Amino acid sequence: MVDSHCPYCALQCAMTMEPVGLGTADLEGRPRTASHQRIEVEGRDFPTNRGGMCRKGWTSAEVLRAPDRLTTPLVRGSDGELHPMGWDEVLDLLADRLRSIAAEHGPDAVAVFGGGGLTNEKAYQLGKFARIALRTKHIDYNGRFCMASAAAASNRSLGMDRGMPFPITDLDTSGAILLLGSNVAETMPPFVGHLAGARAAGGLVVVDPRRSATADLTDDGQGVHLQPVPGTDLVVLQALLHVVLAESLADEAYLAERTSGLDNVARSVAAWWPERAEQVCGVPADDLRATARLLAAASPARGGAGVHVLTGRGVEQSTQGTATVTAAINLALALGLVGREGSGYGALTGQGNGQGGREHGQKADQLPGYRMIADPAAREHVAAVWGVDADDLPGPGLPAVELLRSLGTPGGPRALLVHGANPVVSAPRADAVADRLRALDLLVVCDVVPSETVALADVVLPVTQWAEEEGTMTNLEGRIIRRRKAIDPPDGVVSELWVWAQLAARLDAPGTWSTVPSEVFDELARASVGGRADYSGLSHARLDRESDLHWPCPASGEGEAPHPGTPRAFLEDFPTPDGRARLVPVDHVGPAEDLRRDAPLFLITGRVLEHYQSGAQTRRVAALLAAQPTPFVEVHPLLAHRLGIEEGDQLDLRTARATVSAPARITDRVRPDTVFMPFHFAGAGSVNRATNDAVDPISSMPEFKVCAVDVAASTTDLVPEPLEVSA
């Protein structure tokens, strides 16, 4: 039996894995190589999940045996089809193609797109590979679609971006929790247990334009559901802070001792009195006042049990996402919550390693340890670890949306390597992304199953997945955890660490390229020394002994006890020049796309319980697919009546970018001016074909969560077909 963690979201629920069936292990307990090996999983007691898991976690082992698992390299031939090729041949081919493209167009003609599900070791090595083997500045990752706005806001306000800078168990005793833009009851169900204390106190406040499963948790006096007009969460927050300041509910002593910028923020929210806010966001003024008072009453300044303010993708995936998170932090600072045990602000990381993935070099402007690539001192330090000259490191590249737009354009990248992502389904304006991928001279995709992005690739490389590899992940609390191997991969499947080492050798790259995850982690730790995300006091061996280690965890001096890690950040000061948190004034400008005559409704998107991200994994699990086989459109009964729509009718949703099609679900869970679609599906029902790729000016986060749409009965027979899987 092997202890590890779920392969899906950033809650990283603990589980045990037990190989079962023929050929599971030899006499010494080591896994045997057997393509028919399978494992059984059970929930394991851990602070995040306390032994529970969601449906995705319980069925996660089925993806290991997906009937269409990729097990051999594939290369597109002159006939337009993908054909098998041996590893040596395909790596030689790739090295030659990459070398020739760089020689003809420059090293920046090769780009890399990573993923928030890669282990810390892979995320680190991928950033290193891009910058010193390919020598390209063009690397970013799908985490740009996940945490970019929260990261930008936290860095400028608090001096550090760690999703939740406190253990998740701190929520258990909170008297009030303000949850904005997150449907945890479906996206990470074991999280709901940590809301029990606030619910019992009547203090759970859910802000969501949709009546989600999480909003249902506020029923029966357990809290409040605020249902704003899509894209106006910032107005809700400005109004709450207005009330806190106007009614003298703020923690004046905390503000004076630990923050700066209050005067400018007070002026910025003065215009958002509740009655004015109601006219924009649709939330009744009385509800806004009552919510502000509820939060203040539970705050430590008034002897309450504590308050936590939490944000998720629903408010962050917006052209004003950074401003909205900043407003949430401003409210938390005004109430004296941040850096106090039992209270705080946190952003709920989505992807399994969304936190660690951005700390160690996948982002366009960052180096390991959460260092900025334009910082000369950071470049010198990391270059020394890598054994190269700092002047040879490239500068900042393009963030994800801009990078994808530039592919195959004059002066843009001619080749792209994709690792752990499926942008044909997950990126906004996905049809345009697919067109850019087709325009490339070379598209290389590493994956475990034939995703929609794999279908466009020139070269496909089959790689290991979670139970077949060792490594570490960093969960939503900033806790570094061990991913452990339970079984060997199928014959022909390798780790990306091996792929990059082989390509680095063929490209005559400098430095060392270990394929042993523990050795790669040790190098990552050295590269992170002194950075904001300092892992230098950690190793696989230590993490095998201790499971409660959060970064920063710097190395101790000789003869000193190991650093205990930092489960709660900001208790003494903030990592800013003056040690104070900054209140930053922001204002509401609204979504990038207004409603108009030919698009009079709001389209919002999100997840469902059974599926994860682009669905490439979960749509291959028979039980999950049976429970939710196709996309759907939620339509309010009043809107359905006005448009003459019946339950199950096939609908066309038209935006300025695409038309998508799915059957109607008539429900009062959405507002009458809004329709909702899940984003896990491909083809005619792929809603990200229609979403807006306008971006936040600070974080470059695209505006997935709201755009203008027209809805009508479908004029075609484009009924989305479910993926067929074996039971």
| Domain ranges (residues) in the chain | 74-145+353-527, 149-347, 601-713
Q: ω into residue 399 within 30 of 0, thus cis?
A: no
Residue with more model confidence, 615 or 94: 94
With a CB cutoff of 8 Å and minimum separation 6, the contacts of 71 are 35, 462, 490, 491, 492, 493
Span 398-410, mean pLDDT? 97
CATH architecture for segment(s) 601-713:
Beta Barrel (2.40)
The mean-pLDDT minimum among 30-39, 503-512, 644-653 falls in: 30-39
Residue 25 has pLDDT above 50, yes or no: no
Tell me the per-residue pLDDT of 276-295, one tens digit each, with 9 for 90 and over: 999 999 999 999 999 999 99
Q: What percent of the chain has pLDDT over 90?
A: 93
Residue 478 has pLDDT above 80, yes or no: yes
Sequence letter at residue 159: G
The mean-pLDDT minimum among 61-65, 583-587, 644-648, 714-718 falls in: 714-718
Q: What is the 3-state secondary structure (H, E, C) of 16-43?
A: EEEEECCCCECCCCCECCCCCCEEEEEE
Q: What percent of the chain has pLDDT over 70?
A: 96
Burial pattern 75-105, b for ≥16 Cβ within 10 A else e, equals beeeeeebeebebeebbebbbebbeebbeeb
Span 69-94, mean pLDDT? 97
Tell me the per-residue pLDDT of 295-336, one tens digit each, with 9 for 90 and over: 999 999 999 999 999 999 999 999 999 999 999 999 999 999
DSSP string across 259-280: EE-HHHHHHHHTT--HHHHHHH
Task: Give the DSSP H or E segment for 661.
Answer: strand 659-666
Region class of 41: left (phi > 0), else alpha (psi between -120 and 50), else beta = beta
pLDDT at 350: 86
pLDDT band with cut points at 50, 70 and 90 for residue 126: very high
CATH architecture for segment(s) 149-347:
3-Layer(aba) Sandwich (3.40)
Span 186-201, mean pLDDT? 97
Q: Provide CATH code, domain 74-145+353-527.
A: 3.40.50.740
pLDDT band with cut points at 50, 70 and 90 for residue 719: very low
pLDDT at 716: 67
CA distance 566 to 553: 7
pLDDT band with cut points at 50, 70 and 90 for residue 31: very low
pLDDT at 272: 98
Residue 130 has pLDDT above 50, yes or no: yes
Sequence letter at residue 40: E
pLDDT at 389: 97
pLDDT at 727: 32
The mean-pLDDT minimum among 104-108, 337-341, 612-616, 693-697 falls in: 612-616
Q: Judge whether 311 and 152 are in contact, CB under 8 Å.
A: no
Residue 34 has pLDDT above 60, yes or no: no
Residue with more model confidence, 146 or 524: 524
Tell me the per-residue pLDDT of 527-542, one tens digit each, with 9 for 90 and over: 999 999 999 999 999 9
Span 488-506, mean pLDDT? 97
pLDDT at 715: 78
Span 662-688, mean pLDDT? 97
Span 337-365, mean pLDDT? 93
Residue 84 has pLDDT above 60, yes or no: yes
How confident is the prediction for the chain on average, in pLDDT?
95
pLDDT at 717: 56
